[in-house]
Amino acid sequence: MAEIFFASLAKAHHEILLFAVVGLAIGGIDDFIIDVLFLCRHLWRRLTVYSRHQRMTTVTLPASVRPGRIAIFIPAWREADVIGPMLRNALAHWGHQDYRIFVGLYPNDQATLDAVAPLAAGEERLILCINERNGPTTKADCLNVVWRTMLREEARTGVDFKAIVMHDAEDVVHRDEIHLFDVMTDRFQLVQLPVLPLPGQGGWWNKAIANHYCDEFAESHGKYLTVREAMGASMPSAGVACAFERKMLERLVNPAHGGPFDPGSLTEDYEVGLRIATMGGRGVFVRMRDSDGQLVATKEYFPDSLKGAVKQKARWMVGISLAGWDRLGWQGGPMEWWMRMRDRRAALSAFVLFTAYLTLLLSAVLQIGGLFGLDSHLRPSRAVETLLWINFAFMTWRMATRAIFAGMSYGWAFGLGAIPRTIIANIIAMMAARRAMFLYLQSLTGKPLAWDKTQHRFPDLEVPA
């Protein structure tokens, strides 16, 4: 009986292994092509551009040829712990530049209302936008309320806004971003700046979960988005540190929604970026440094608990990888199709990872059985063995590149830690994929989407006077 069980287990192991190695090889080739394109682009620009011109900074950045007022949209649902410090920091850093901050609030969120109201009293740059409905709705619905408030402000003052900048209630903004957005929206309809997660605090487990976001964003916003822009594909919005040209965003307004954002989406920011490209708008990813040599970027804490990280990544998977497939389709040419496929492979990649870990577990069981004479004698084929070695090479390369990008952003000791954190990232991805599938299936049965937000923190900062 035991022999039959282990023989069946060996056959199942072989089939699962074949699926895993093929899936991992396809993903590895895909990622490797991106790396090659990045290296070629980086070398080309060093030889042809930066050999003749100094890199531009916010100090040498010229003034806008048509300066205008900037609107900052901040949706807030149960953000009483962070919204006050965030707004004080933003107002202090941006000073008296030409901007207005619009904060989306809910009538049944008294704590957040109480945190914002004292700051708005007598402050013309800060405008409250209170939803007609109790929360939570979706983030997109809250942003549409902010949009309608902005229109009323334009009618009141007679001054149209030039661009709309997206931020979250926990963001640490950069002092130069208003000027940078003002200049770049002269030429582009979407401008995305880097997002740098703040390193985690507390115990090693909490640090590891928070820091895996640092690893992923350092690589994505240091490499992938630059390649995506160079390939001429659409530039997705990260939802923060992103500016939309106002007239282009107005073209996306749906009267049924009361604004440009679709309340039926969990990733309205990502979708807006792709829709702008479909309508002929140009997006750009800007990595520029300030007078101190620091990257002009938005910083924030990301979840440092397993539950929070799974919730957040599941929301991204539902909006981009699952529902996004239905909602946005496959417009554009081959490069756009490739980038959208990369966006939507997250759930499938997590399943491939699960099968890979499952083969390790089954291998261990079969090895133990072999110690007791229960060897099935079923060995991987030469093709499977070859793919195993190819995948090992790809895995080594991937870990090395992630460590390099994390090291460039956070220091080399931090970068080396990205290698073991890959395991934690994989675990979170697999758990998030499971949750995403359940959420997506529930949405197909008619369950309305809601703002499945995570708890936020804001760092202790010395806000300048």
7 pLDDT above the threshold of 60: yes
- Provide Rg for the chain, Cα atoms: 24
Q: Cis (ω within 30 of 0) for the bond into 107?
A: no
Distance, in Å, from the CA atom of 359 to the CA atom of 334, rounded to the nearest integer, reads 34
Rounded to an integer, the average pLDDT of 422-433 is 94
Length of the chain: 465
362 pLDDT above the threshold of 80: yes
Distance, in Å, from the CA atom of 142 to the CA atom of 164, rounded to the nearest integer, reads 15
Burial class (CB in 10 A: 0-12, 13-18, 19+), 441: exposed
Cβ 100 vs Cβ 129: under 8 Å: no
Q: Give 14-75 as a DSSP string.
A: HHHHHHHHHHHHHHHHHHHHHHHHHHHHHHHHHHHTTTTSPPPBTTTPPPPSS--EEEEEEE
Q: 322 or 224: which carries more pLDDT confidence?
A: 224
Q: 317 or 162: which carries more pLDDT confidence?
A: 162
| Domain positions in the chain | 69-308
User: Which tokens belong to 13?
Assistant: 């192991």
Distance, in Å, from the CA atom of 19 to the CA atom of 102, rounded to the nearest integer, reads 50
Would you tell me which CATH number, out of the four given (3.30.200.210, 3.90.550.10, 3.10.129.10, 3.30.500.10), belongs to the domain 69-308? 3.90.550.10
Q: Residue 452's pLDDT band (boundaries 50, 70, 90)? A: low
Share of the chain above pLDDT 90, in %: 65
User: Which tokens belong to 438?
Assistant: 């359940």
Q: Residue 10's pLDDT band (boundaries 50, 70, 90)? A: confident
